[in-house]
Chains A and B, each alone.
Chain A
Amino acid sequence: MSKIIAQAFKEKALIAYVTLGDPTISDTITYCKALIDSGVSMIEIGLPFSDPIADGPIIQASHQTALLSGEDVSVRAALDVIKILKEYAPNVPIIIMAATNIIMQFGYRLFFQEATQASCNGILMPDCSIEMTQIIKYEDRVPDVPIINLVSPLCNEDRLKTIISQSEGFVYLLSSTGTTGERDSFSQQLEHFISRIKQIKNIPVAIGFGVSKPAHYKSLTQFSEGVIIGSHFVKLLKSKATIQEGIAAVSNRVKEFKAFL
């Protein structure tokens, strides 16, 4: 199960977050292909949501842009993009990040069926705590599309056990409290926290929220299997005069990250 994901964590994984449809669906496809070419280990496609509570200003603005673009940024559109990318690079895992409401309205059962057909490798719902995943019936889920759980360093031992023992694929560890967005410092306890995770289950751990420098990538992957980079790439993508230049800038940045290891 999740062999493709396990493969991605063989080396220190660099996971890139991409907002679907910012600025257009066709740009999203071009951008993801460029990310794959420059060596990212996995792509997390974020479905824009009107009221993202876990995201900072950069990703929120990106969601707004996508929602206002007039493009179809629905679940089905995301799955169509994944199908195209899977033809391009079958072995690069692609997961979906979406607010619980978006998947709920699409229908959980239907989502897992269609996600399987699209070869989507996981689903992350940042506002779905482990206690709430119970609303998704077990018979509706499929092993090939695991629910990726978020865990915060504030989590206590009992809940950590529950989360980790139910986790498949990998664990998305929040670097600290707060929303997504670049930051300079990380919780000092991350290394210790990861050892607590590993005592429960040997599952890859990727650290997200605030990772923006090659030095972060290097230091955090001393004790984790990878990092997720969101706001930093979104900001860089949008910082150039044209989207083509933005894509080139992020591709170069990915290479800088990889070279720094």
Chain B
Amino acid sequence: MHEPSKDGFFGNYGGMFVPDTLIPALNDLLTCYNTVKDDPEFIQELDYYLHHFVGRPSPLYRAKNLSEKCNHTIYLKREDLNHTGAHKINNTLGQILLAKKMGKSRIIAETGAGQHGVATATVCALMGMQCDIYMGAEDIERQSLNVKRMTLMGASIHSVNTGSKTLKDATTEAIRDWMQYVENTHYIIGSALGPHPYPLLVRNFQSIIGKEARRQILDQEQTLPDAVIACIGGGSNALGIFHHFIDDNSVRLIGVEAAGEGLDSNMHAASLSKGKPGVLHGSLNSVLQDENGQIQLAHSISAGLDYPGVGPELCYLKESGRLESYAISNKDALHGCKELAELEGIIAALETSHALALLADKKILGENKMIILCLSGRGDKDMETISQYV
């Protein structure tokens, strides 16, 4: 159930579109994962770190003031309270334990907002592994705090100056590095993207979010929510919180993409809404591209959503009608961020703020609904950007 085909397809999306060099490593990764995923020792080790190092379970917090303001009952799944300040560490912990099992000595990762880079640098420090992070030059500029955090934890940051100098290009560079050093290096992809089995692995490591949230809401409200909302860049926090609700047909699954300067502006990152099926970074997914198949530059005020593709499983869920997706502009996201800060004393990441901004939309959400929103990360990293506008 909800598992990809042998070759990694979720419906029409997914697959392993990589040069032959990488196939053995991808097959090894899947074999290793299948071996350890039900191994009590592996589960125990992962649980230990998730609990004692990350601080899980994260709270499901009833946001009283925000609820009143929006005329809904709103619960925030507080992934921002995880160690390192976002959901990203759920995945990096799982993957570094896999890398250890596979005997790899070096870790590489791409990062956009820097949260995945920080989460990777963190687990590398924890496990004593060499860590190289690829980051677009523009993102290095706008996320300087995270760059300093990664450096402090011993990671080497590689500035990527090609293309849009953001997440897309950082990912391309990381794959190229992996091509070269695949024999000793594990590539920790940060979102539910890339060639099979990454979309599966990342989703499963992140699904702890929804697993906890479902139990927590049943504890607190004795009923399932009407809707679960998450922002979507590549889709890791969204799939993480959605996964355990997919079979609950009464629960709406709502993803929020970045509309940037507007969906008609060519300055957005709404791959689900505006993309076409295409191959980018190892999988067939919904890609922003021109008529010749050249990948277009995405744009969003939040570096973590600034990506022209989206995870294959989300493409499948959208196509099958299970997932609804909407897009929120830069301006509305900033407003969502400000409102949560004032009402609840929580500064959310700009990525998350896109999901928050949707709460004001009565046409989409109706009224008096019970809603869980994945508060995927904290906004400290975005303070410079936010203070320019607010």
Are A131 and B7 interface neighbours, CB within 8 A? yes
Are A155 and B24 interface neighbours, CB within 8 A? yes
Give the Cβ gap from B259 to chain A, nearest Cβ, in Å.
22
**Given A51-B172, A53-B179, A154-B24: A104 and B19 interface contact (C-beta under 8 Å):** no
Are A126 and B19 interface neighbours, CB within 8 A? yes
Total interface residues on A, CB under 8 Å, equals 44
Residues of chain A lying within 8 A (CB to CB) of residue B182: 154, 177
Q: Which of B7, B162, B179, B280 contacts A178 (CB 8 A)?
A: B179
Are B179 and A177 interface neighbours, CB within 8 A? yes
> Which of A31-39, A94-102, A222-230, A243-251 interfaces with chain B?
A94-102
A24 contacts the other chain (CB 8 A): no
- Bound-complex Cα distance A106 to B279 (A): 13
**Given A104-B279, A132-B15: A49 and B294 interface contact (C-beta under 8 Å):** yes
Q: Could you count the A-B residue pairs with CB atoms below 8 Å apart for me: how many are there?
A: 120
B180 contacts the other chain (CB 8 A): yes
Are B16 and A129 interface neighbours, CB within 8 A? yes
- Bound-complex Cα distance A50 to B163 (A): 7
Q: Which of B23, B289, B292 contacts A129 (CB 8 A)?
A: B23
A219 contacts the other chain (CB 8 A): no
A54 contacts the other chain (CB 8 A): yes
Are B24 and A105 interface neighbours, CB within 8 A? no
Q: Which of A50, A60, A126, A131 contacts B294 (CB 8 A)?
A: A50
B175 contacts the other chain (CB 8 A): yes
Are B163 and A155 interface neighbours, CB within 8 A? no
Residues of chain A lying within 8 A (CB to CB) of residue B179: 53-54, 177-179
- Bound-complex Cα distance A151 to B176 (A): 17
Residues of chain A lying within 8 A (CB to CB) of residue B11: none
Residues of chain B lying within 8 A (CB to CB) of residue A74: 292
Are A174 and B20 interface neighbours, CB within 8 A? yes
Interface of B is mostly: mixed
Residues of chain A lying within 8 A (CB to CB) of residue B318: none
Residues of chain B lying within 8 A (CB to CB) of residue A29: none
**Given A50-B294, A131-B23, A177-B180: A105 and B17 interface contact (C-beta under 8 Å):** no
B103 contacts the other chain (CB 8 A): no
Give the Cβ gap from A151 to chain B, nearest Cβ, in Å.
5
A49-88 vs B, CB cutoff 8 Å, 1 = contact: the mask equals 1111111100010001001000001110000000000000
Are B287 and A101 interface neighbours, CB within 8 A? yes
Are B280 and A105 interface neighbours, CB within 8 A? no
Are A179 and B163 interface neighbours, CB within 8 A? no
Are A127 and B278 interface neighbours, CB within 8 A? no
Residues of chain B lying within 8 A (CB to CB) of residue A159: 23-24
A242 contacts the other chain (CB 8 A): no
**Which among A132, A156, A179 has the highest number of chain B CB atoms within 10 Å?**
A132
Q: Which of B15, B163, B181, B282 contacts A135 (CB 8 A)?
A: B15
A91 contacts the other chain (CB 8 A): no
A128-161 vs B, CB cutoff 8 Å, 1 = contact: the mask equals 1111101100000000000001111011100100
Query: Which residues of chain B from 1 to 34 have a CB within 8 Å of any chain A CB?
Result: 7, 15-21, 23-24
Total interface residues on B, CB under 8 Å, equals 37
B282-305 vs A, CB cutoff 8 Å, 1 = contact: the mask equals 101001010111110000000000
Question: Nearest residue in A to B163 (C-beta to C-beta)?
Answer: A50
Residues of chain B lying within 8 A (CB to CB) of residue A149: 20
Are A64 and B292 interface neighbours, CB within 8 A? no
A120 contacts the other chain (CB 8 A): no
B242-286 vs A, CB cutoff 8 Å, 1 = contact: the mask equals 000000000000000000000000000000000011111110100
Are B24 and A127 interface neighbours, CB within 8 A? no
- Bound-complex Cα distance A202 to B181 (A): 31
Give the Cβ gap from A196 to chain B, nearest Cβ, in Å.
14
A163 contacts the other chain (CB 8 A): yes
Give the Cβ gap from A59 to chain B, nearest Cβ, in Å.
11
Are A130 and B15 interface neighbours, CB within 8 A? no
Are A60 and B162 interface neighbours, CB within 8 A? yes
- Bound-complex Cα distance A159 to B20 (A): 10
Give the Cβ gap from B298 to chain A, nearest Cβ, in Å.
12
Residues of chain A lying within 8 A (CB to CB) of residue B183: 154, 177
B168 contacts the other chain (CB 8 A): yes
Give the Cβ gap from B102 to chain A, nearest Cβ, in Å.
14
Q: Which of B21, B181, B280, B292 contacts A51 (CB 8 A)?
A: B280
Are A127 and B23 interface neighbours, CB within 8 A? no
Give the Cβ gap from B383 to chain A, nearest Cβ, in Å.
31
Are A53 and B176 interface neighbours, CB within 8 A? yes
Query: Which residues of chain A from 155 to 201 have a CB within 8 Å of any chain B CB?
Result: 155-156, 159, 163, 174, 177-179
Are B278 and A105 interface neighbours, CB within 8 A? yes
- Bound-complex Cα distance A60 to B93 (A): 33
Are B162 and A179 interface neighbours, CB within 8 A? no
Residues of chain A lying within 8 A (CB to CB) of residue B16: 129, 131-132
- Bound-complex Cα distance A51 to B17 (A): 13
Are A130 and B18 interface neighbours, CB within 8 A? no
**Given A105-B293, A178-B180: A130 and B17 interface contact (C-beta under 8 Å):** no
Give the Cβ gap from B84 to chain A, nearest Cβ, in Å.
28
Show 12 A/B contacts (Cβ-Cβ < 8 Å), sorted by A: A51-B172, A52-B172, A53-B281, A100-B279, A105-B276, A105-B291, A106-B293, A127-B282, A129-B18, A132-B17, A155-B23, A177-B180
Given contacts A51-B163, A102-B294, A104-B293, list 6 more A-B pairs with CB under 8 A: A53-B179, A64-B162, A101-B279, A101-B287, A128-B17, A178-B21
Residues of B within 8 A of A (CB): 7, 15-21, 23-24, 162-163, 168-169, 172, 175-176, 179-183, 276-282, 284, 287, 289, 291-295
Residues of A within 8 A of B (CB): 49-56, 60, 64, 67, 73-75, 99-106, 126-132, 134-135, 149-152, 154-156, 159, 163, 174, 177-179
Pick the 3 closest A-B CB pairs, nearest first. Answer: A105-B293, A178-B180, A152-B21
